[in-house]
Amino acid sequence: MSTTKPGRGNWAEVLEWSRTLPLSEFKARADAVCRQHHGAGVWLRGLIEVSSYCTESCWYCGLRAPNSQARRYRMDTATLLETVRAGYAAGLRTFVLQGGEDPALGPELVAGWIEAIRHATNDEAAITLSLGLQSRQTYRLWREAGAQRYLMRFETANPQLFERYRPGTTLAERLRALEWLRELDYEVGSGFLVGLPEENQTDREAAWRLCWEFGFDMVGIGPFIPHPATPLGTTERPPLELCEQSVAAVRLLLPLAHMPATTAAGTLHPKGREAVLAGGANVLMPDITPIPMKKDYELYPGKVCVDESGLACLPCLDLRVRTAGKVIRHGVGSAPRRVAR
Ligand code: 5AD
Ligand code: SF4
């Protein structure tokens, strides 16, 4: 099994460090690599949750189709564009459109949104989509309309756990879709949940390995937070340390990747985002979805900042970033590998 790849960390070495170093030392090494490649900057991405409808039944997620208590909404085009304009005026230059797998968000509708956002932002902003599994043709249409980035986590690298927790789909199918996205010249983001019930350290190491093999441009790693209206609702929350370790490992393996300090990390622990920003993460994704909707986009309970507009959160994020010894950077912030191409 090869342990080296150009532009990536040494697999065997990072694995060894993860097993032998105290977490603080492991994180310090990840922080050094992060600063070497990305400086002290933290990129902001404006997250817009466009639909809380979903046809899927993921066991961990509050938006799963069988959850009849979930409140469902779908943003209209005018609200979406207003949200983008307000974010643009506040200095945001990347917008992430995220939603459940909602068939009503048809290929043409979303392609129209992409074009309208480009127009509303003078083509100065990057558009990232996070709309789940789609056909290759749909991914192509959206790329041609002008979306540059796509996020889709593989959630767990354990194929059995994947099939149990995401009924009706397979890990292989998801990885094939991620390959399509790369072929279509998207900046490809993926990532995984940490601390799903029955997941173990071997599974987490396999997730690191998968990130390393694929060479994602972006990797989002968040702790699993049980939602009471799901089959996993009464299970335990994982310790933050598991998430810190995975973020540090993937940073050491993929020095160039963009890695967010996730909202889930901030929900699990009041200093969760700061903790991962100090150990490898270099992106924050303020949720700029209008307040009544963002409350209803309940993947997990207790999501931080749901009572404030995401733009009101910016000064608070600035402080959090400084606490971690970093500074917010405005701008498109493309993945470095892409800039070099
Ligand atoms: N806890 C934490 N993260 C979750 N997600 C879904 N449900 C939960 C949960 N209960 C994450 C998944 C998905 C992303 C949009 O939200 O990883 O990819
Ligand atoms: Fe739907 Fe995504 Fe939640 Fe799964 S994780 S139920 S695909 S919104």
Q: What share of the chain is helix, strand, coil (3-state, %, to 5)?
A: 40, 15, 45
| Per-residue pLDDT at 313 | 85
| Ligand 1 centroid distance, CA of 300 (Å) | 7
Q: Quick one: pLDDT band at residue 338, thresholds 50, 70, 90?
A: low
Q: What's the CA angle centered on 55, arms 51 and 60, to 5 degrees?
A: 85
Q: Higher model confidence: residue 299 or residue 310? A: 299
- DSSP conformational letter for 285: -
Pocket test residue of 267, 299, 304 for ligand 1, highest count of atoms within 8 A of CB: 299
Per-residue pLDDT, averaged over 58-63, amounts to 98
120-178 pLDDT per residue, tens? 999 999 999 999 999 999 999 999 999 999 999 999 999 999 999 999 999 999 999 99
Domain boundaries along the sequence of the chain:
11-331
Pocket test residue of 53, 299, 300, 303 for ligand 2, highest count of atoms within 8 A of CB: 299
> What CA–CA distance (Å, rounded) separates 239 from 247?
14
Query: 194 in ligand 1 pocket by Cβ < 6 Å?
Result: no
Q: Quick one: pLDDT band at residue 311, thresholds 50, 70, 90?
A: confident
Amino acid at 333: G
Residue 37: pLDDT above 70?
A: yes
Question: CB burial class (10 A; 0-12, 13-18, 19+) of residue 245?
Answer: buried
Q: Show the tokens assigned to 101.
A: 């797998």
The most distant pair of C-alpha atoms in the chain lies apart, rounded to whole Å, by 53
| Ligand 2 nearest-atom number relative to CA 64 | 6
> What CA–CA distance (Å, rounded) separates 167 from 161?
10
Residue 263: pLDDT above 90?
A: yes
**Residues 89 and 57 sit within 8 Å (Cβ to Cβ):** no
Q: What's the CA angle centered on 293, arms 178 and 314, to 5 degrees?
A: 80
Picking from 93, 25, 6, the residue whose alpha carbon sits closest to that of residue 248 is 25
Residue 327: pLDDT above 50?
A: yes
Burial 12-37 (b: 16+ CB within 10 A, else e): eebbebbeeeeeeebbebbbebbeee
Q: Quick one: pLDDT band at residue 335, thresholds 50, 70, 90?
A: confident
Protein residue with its CA nearest to atom 7 in ligand 1: 61
Per-residue pLDDT, averaged over 27-56, amounts to 97
Q: Higher model confidence: residue 331 or residue 213? A: 213
Per-residue pLDDT, averaged over 86-99, amounts to 97
- Name the closest ligand to CA 151: 1
Query: CATH for 11-331?
Result: 3.20.20.70
| Ligand 2 nearest-atom number relative to CA 65 | 6
- Name the closest ligand to CA 193: 1
| Per-residue pLDDT at 64 | 98
Q: Show the tokens assigned to 22.
A: 């105290």
Protein residue with its CA nearest to atom 2 in ligand 2: 100
**Residues 99 and 131 sit within 8 Å (Cβ to Cβ):** yes
- Name the closest ligand to CA 237: 1
Residue 337: pLDDT above 80?
A: no
239-261 pLDDT per residue, tens? 999 999 999 999 999 999 999 99
Q: Show the tokens assigned to 38.
A: 């990305």
Per-residue pLDDT, averaged over 200-213, amounts to 98
**Residue 210, Cβ neighbours under 10 Å: how many?**
19
Per-residue pLDDT, averaged over 279-296, amounts to 96
- Where does residue 133 fall: left (phi above 0), alpha (psi -120 to 50 degrees), or beta otherwise? beta
Question: CB burial class (10 A; 0-12, 13-18, 19+) of residue 119?
Answer: exposed
| Ligand 2 centroid distance, CA of 63 (Å) | 6
CA atoms within 13 A on the CB side of 2: 7
Query: 70 in ligand 2 pocket by Cβ < 6 Å?
Result: no
Query: 189 in ligand 2 pocket by Cβ < 6 Å?
Result: no
> What CA–CA distance (Å, rounded) separates 207 from 314?
32
Residue 221: pLDDT above 70?
A: yes
- Name the closest ligand to CA 51: 2
Q: Quick one: pLDDT band at residue 340, thresholds 50, 70, 90?
A: very low
Q: Quick one: pLDDT band at residue 197, thresholds 50, 70, 90?
A: very high
* Number of residues written out for the chain: 341
Q: For residue 34, report the phi and psi dihedrals to the nearest 5 degrees.
A: -60, -45
| Per-residue pLDDT at 341 | 41
Protein residue with its CA nearest to atom 3 in ligand 1: 224
- DSSP conformational letter for 70: S
